[in-house]
Chains A and B, each alone.
Chain A
Amino acid sequence: MAACEPTRTYLRCVSANRPLLSFVSVIRSDFANARPNTDLMTHNIDVSLINCIIFRGEPSAVIPRIAGPSFMTGKTLMHTQPAHTEVEPRCSAEALAEREQAFQAKIDADIKIEPKDWMPQAYRQSLVRQISQHAHSEIVGMLPEGNWLTRAPSLRRKLILLAKVQDEAGHGLYLYSAAETLGASREALIEALHAGQAKYSSIFNYPTLTWADVGAIGWLVDGAALINQIPLCRCSYGPYARAMRRICKEESFHQRQGYEIMLTLCRGTAAQKRMAQDALNRWWWPSLMMFGPPDAESSHTQQSMRWKIKRHTNDALRQKFIDQSVSQADYLGLTPPDPELKWNEQTGHYDFGTIDWSEFWRVLKGEGPCNRERIEARRRAYDEGRWVREAALVFGAKQTRRAPGTD
């Protein structure tokens, strides 16, 4: 990131060469004091970075495609995809089959697919679905933890949590940008979410009742997300894979922060330990569900694996998570709420009890504790912010008209 100042990057509205409203995150030295060994500089996000993720190459070498949020420039956010998303160029069935073969051959040879490459419509759709669901999850996921921002128990904890929630917004931004390389628009994706047509991770439909929930989310939810996401760093679609590499670095920091909160609670007073155990009780099973339905019932797994969008099955990842989390719980002195959890010498894994999949399907359908309020909160923010986005858009258009020598 040679183009960036070491501690602060200011997003610029490239087209108007005007400093943009949002300047994006870096955690400063006071934060570093809290955890000196962590590479906090990875918390930098800026336009050239997003360009880097999407288009590869050095920031300076990249044509600035993202000229800030669309509401600032009056233009669609990304114009990367010559919209052959709606209509496939007309060609014979033979030619199409040949293209698909060539495409699959690239995938098999581990060559990344890039935005301008030809791809089957179903591959594109599958990616838009997955990337936008992931983006939505980051954004909705800001709410349960954001619920404790105003009540964090120390200033240091407040800063760490704030930086974490900010990271999630940043992840959402990368991911919407990656989805836009496939021809989707951020606005349309967000509207689909608000209309209840798009999914997001069901885990965020559970409430955060105590401070320990902030720790449990970091430890378990981010831990599960990380296991899900690490293989995506090798996903066949280049922009997604590059976004995920960045995201995984930050998620791993979040997980350690969450675990550290749990550790502090477990070494604290009886009341704190009670909070920690209660949080584990409530988040354990929903975390296991984050890996999706069992392989036999997963509708997307097979094709996604063939396309190398997905690299491991749901059940394999879930097992990995359980194996890792049981010993972590042990170290905390906490007990996962599963009496059947037992080490199996033969398999080299933990056996575990039956997951209540009816709960998973119920929450997915909208009948979880917080489904309504989460979507309602997002919708309200979007609706109540409309006049602000419109004002910026109108102002941008006025500026363009006022500028001498513009057409």
Chain B
Amino acid sequence: MNQHQALYEYLLRLGDNALILGQRLTEWIGHAPALEEELGSANVALDLIGQARGWLAYAGTVEGAGRDEDTLALQRDILDFRNVLLVEQPNGHYGDTIARQYLFDAFHYPLLEALHGSSDQHIAAIAAKSCKEAGYHRRRSAEWMIRLGDGTTESHTKLQRSVDTLWPYTGELFTTDEIDRALQSSGVAADLTAVQQAWDEEVARTLKTATLQRPAAGWMQSGGKQGRHSEQLGYILAEMQFLPRAYPDAHW
């Protein structure tokens, strides 16, 4: 794989993470536990989908095949999606959503912070803007982790279970493959070892404050970054891509 292809794949990973998590969050709108959470969830979703537009538009340019952000988001099938499995997991109850969000945010923020210094100027620019947003996201989801973890017995039990269930999806955030390695050597991609260290510290601190147990290290899920997804993603795409696929000659 050459640098060019690696860059395209890398951008899809960044864009698809943001897109799929943003899409998941929009499912909450109208159904959140409080009015303030409608606003908060919508805000995070707006940020993430906005970021996805940036990454995917750039991916389309790098690919050079005339595909734009919408073609990439709405006309690609499951085998070509590159998001991590964590973000495609179902919303579940609000604790599941918060745990998923927090585990991702704790990764997303240091990742974007690192990419701010990317040798690729486009990546650095998108990361600079996104990083600020991701900081807010992490602050919000960490606050909720603490409130639900250290709230009532019921909320504590529920959230611990959410964390336990989602934990096996966190390993994939930090696995590196030839794409990462190809881009890391040229300073384009982030060093995931450093990101993982930041994540470990952040998550340990929040779990402790939230009176939650860190699940034991164990077997981890993987595959999303290479296009091997869980069954969840097919349904997300079926819904998200319905209109452009049903009316391929239409503009909206």
Contacts and interface: CB of A to CB of B under 8 A. Distances in A.
Interface string B138-171: 0110011011101110110010000000000000
Given A176-B35, A269-B249, A395 B242 contact: no
For chain B, what secondary structure do more than half of its interface residues adopt (helix, strand, loop), or is it mixed? Answer: helix
Most chain A beta-carbon neighbours within 10 Å: one of B52, B150, B155, B249:
B155
Interface stretch (B66-74, B77-85, B106-114, B217-225): B66-74
Contact of B30 (A176, A377, A386): A377
Contacts of A271: 247, 250
B126 to A, nearest CB: 10
A205 B15 CA distance: 37
A333 interface: no
Given A163-B46, A169-B39, A155 B73 contact: yes
For chain A, what secondary structure do more than half of its interface residues adopt (helix, strand, loop), or is it mixed? Answer: helix
B46 A25 contact: yes
A206 interface: no
A398 interface: yes
Contacts of B56: 155
A30 B50 contact: yes
B69 A155 contact: yes
Contacts of B239: 150-151
Contact of A381 (B33, B39, B247, B250): B33
B38 A169 contact: yes
A340 B84 CA distance: 58
Contacts of B240: 150-151
B39 A22 contact: yes
Interface string B31-74: 11111111110110111011011101000000000000110011
Contact of B39 (A166, A377, A391): A166
Interface stretch (B4-12, B21-29, B198-206): B21-29
Contacts of A10: 136
A20 B144 CA distance: 9
B252 to A, nearest CB: 4
Interface in A194-248: 211
A392 B151 contact: yes
B34 A153 contact: no
Contacts of B143: 18-21
A149 B45 CA distance: 11
Given A28-B50, A142-B38, A159-B50, A23 B146 contact: no
B97 to A, nearest CB: 10
A91 to B, nearest CB: 38
Contacts of A264: 251-252
Nearest to A169: B38
A386 to B, nearest CB: 8
Contacts of A159: 46, 49-50, 53
B43 A24 contact: yes
Contact of A173 (B39, B46, B249): B39
A21 B155 contact: no
A165 B41 CA distance: 12
Contact of B50 (A24, A31, A380): A31
A113 B95 CA distance: 43
A385 B152 contact: no
A154 B46 contact: no
B90 interface: no
A139 interface: yes
B243 interface: yes
B207 to A, nearest CB: 15
A59 interface: no
Contact of A24 (B39, B49, B148, B154): B39
A388 B136 contact: no
Interface in B219-252: 239-240, 242-244, 247, 249-252
Contact of A170 (B32, B39, B69, B251): B39
Interface string B81-120: 0000000000001110000000000000000000000000
A350 interface: no
A69 interface: yes
Contacts of B74: 153-155
Contacts of A258: none
A162 B31 contact: no
B151 A21 contact: no
A25 B139 CA distance: 16
A159 B129 CA distance: 17
A153 B249 CA distance: 12
A155 B70 contact: yes
Nearest to B23: A150
A23 B29 contact: no
Nearest to B98: A388
Given A158-B49, A377-B31, A149 B26 contact: yes
Contacts of B54: 30
B213 to A, nearest CB: 17
Interface of B: 19, 23, 26-27, 29-40, 42-43, 45-47, 49-50, 52-54, 56, 69-70, 73-74, 93-95, 129, 136, 139-140, 143-144, 146-148, 150-152, 154-155, 158, 239-240, 242-244, 247, 249-252
Closest 3 CB pairs of A and B: A385-B33, A391-B151, A391-B155
Given A268-B251, A269-B250, A381-B32, 6 more contacts: A21-B40, A151-B240, A153-B243, A155-B49, A165-B29, A377-B31
12 contacts: A10-B136, A22-B43, A24-B40, A29-B129, A30-B53, A142-B29, A150-B26, A158-B49, A264-B252, A381-B33, A387-B155, A391-B152
